[in-house]
């Protein structure tokens, strides 16, 4: 009887632990290697992986605790210099390593933002954000276990192909556009950053620049107050599929 009780307790612990975590599945559909990064917010501990290499067409999984809140992105054009310092052409986190170790992406960077519920009845909130600019297409899709709307969201188009010259980040060849800055980052004016006299939603409407992002990626945040069409929810603790170049 004692052995049976211990066995049942062990099964209960495993089930409870599983219920308290969410699995993120990362897939790289880009024709090149990317280096995903993760950043935990709200002063909570970082995930077991804050950065890793993901080859073209490869997939990887990461278990994430309940109530996690943070950002996910992918770096491109990465490598180590003669001193061993690791740097990336876009969305570098500046850690000097493959792991970001609590550092966020340097804009411009396409971001996935998630806030997970603390239990099975609460709502997860998630979005794709181009508020910090764009470096590559990505998507987020709930997988199993969710209820409610639970829609996927994405930025499937290559915004770099239509990026205005004044927002463009050029590659080492000086001609190809490898990332597209937000108007706030590039021009640093209140009407683009929604600051100062433009610090409320009614006074900071979409601009010609944010409309370029919105036309390419209608589901994604194109500027700070783009909430109505860009925030998604799901109840019931689903897992999530994160795809680069969907």
Query: 137 in a domain, yes or no?
Result: yes
The answer, yes or no, to whether residue 5 has pLDDT greater than 90, is no
Q: What is the pTM of this model?
A: 0.89
111-115, strands of its sheet edge to edge? 35-40, 69-75, 111-115, 123-129, 232-235
pLDDT in tens, 43-99: 899 999 999 999 999 999 999 999 999 999 999 999 999 999 999 999 999 999 999
* Domain membership flag for residue 208: no
CB 207 within 8 A of CB 192: yes
Assigned domain for 48 exists: yes
Residue 11 has pLDDT above 90, yes or no: no
* CATH number of the domain enclosing 100: 2.60.110.10
pLDDT at position 17 over 50? no
Q: Is the pLDDT of residue 14 over 90?
A: no
Length in residues, the chain: 246
> Total domain count for the chain?
1
Give the pair of three-digit tokens for residue 86.
């690791």
The rounded distance, in Å, linking the Cα atoms of 236 and 85 is 42
Q: Is residue 132 part of a domain?
A: yes
Residue with tokens 């897992």: 239
- Any domain includes 16: no
**Within a domain: residue 190?**
no
205 in a domain, yes or no? no
Instruction: Tell me which residue of 172, 165, 168 sits closest to 180, measured CA to CA.
Output: 168
Question: Cβ neighbours of residue 3 under 8 Å, at least 6 residues apart?
Answer: none
Is residue 8 predicted with pLDDT exceeding 80? no
Question: Which alpha helices (H) appear in the chain, and where do they start and end?
Answer: 2-19, 183-187, 190-193, 208-216
Instruction: Supply the pLDDT for residue 6.
Output: 37
> Does the bond joining 48 to the residue before it have cis omega, within 30 degrees of 0?
no
Q: Which domain holds residue 154?
A: 21-158+218-244
Cβ-contact 128, 155 below 8 angstroms: yes
Residue 9 counted as domain residue: no
CB 179 within 8 A of CB 90: yes
> Who wins on pLDDT, 15 or 161?
161
């Amino acid at each position: 009887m004692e052995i049976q009780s211990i066995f049942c307790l062990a099964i209960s612990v495993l089930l409870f632990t599983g219920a308290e975590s969410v699995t993120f599945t990362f897939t790289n559909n880009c024709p090149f290697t990317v280096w995903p990064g993760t950043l935990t917010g709200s002063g909570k501990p970082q995930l077991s992986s804050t950065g890793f290499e993901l080859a073209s067409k490869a997939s990887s999984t990461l278990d994430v605790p309940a109530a996690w809140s943070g950002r996910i992105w992918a770096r491109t054009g990465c490598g180590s210099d003669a001193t061993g310092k690791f740097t990336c052409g876009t969305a570098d986190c500046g850690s000097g390593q493959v792991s970001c170790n609590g550092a966020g992406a340097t804009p411009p960077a396409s971001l996935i933002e998630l806030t997970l519920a603390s239990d099975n009845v609460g709502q997860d909130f998630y979005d794709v954000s181009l508020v910090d600019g764009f470096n590559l297409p990505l998507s987020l899709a709930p997988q199993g276990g969710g209820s409610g709307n639970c829609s996927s969201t994405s930025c499937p188009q290559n915004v770099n192909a239509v990026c205005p010259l004044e927002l463009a980040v050029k590659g080492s060849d000086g001609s190809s556009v490898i990332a597209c800055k937000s108007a706030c980052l590039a021009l640093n004016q209140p009407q683009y950053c929604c600051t100062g006299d433009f610090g409320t939603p009614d006074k900071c409407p979409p601009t010609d620049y944010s409309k370029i992002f919105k036309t390419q990626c209608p589901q994604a945040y194109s500027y700070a107050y783009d909430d109505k069409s860009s925030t998604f929810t799901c109840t019931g603790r689903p897992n999530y599929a994160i795809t680069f170049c969907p």
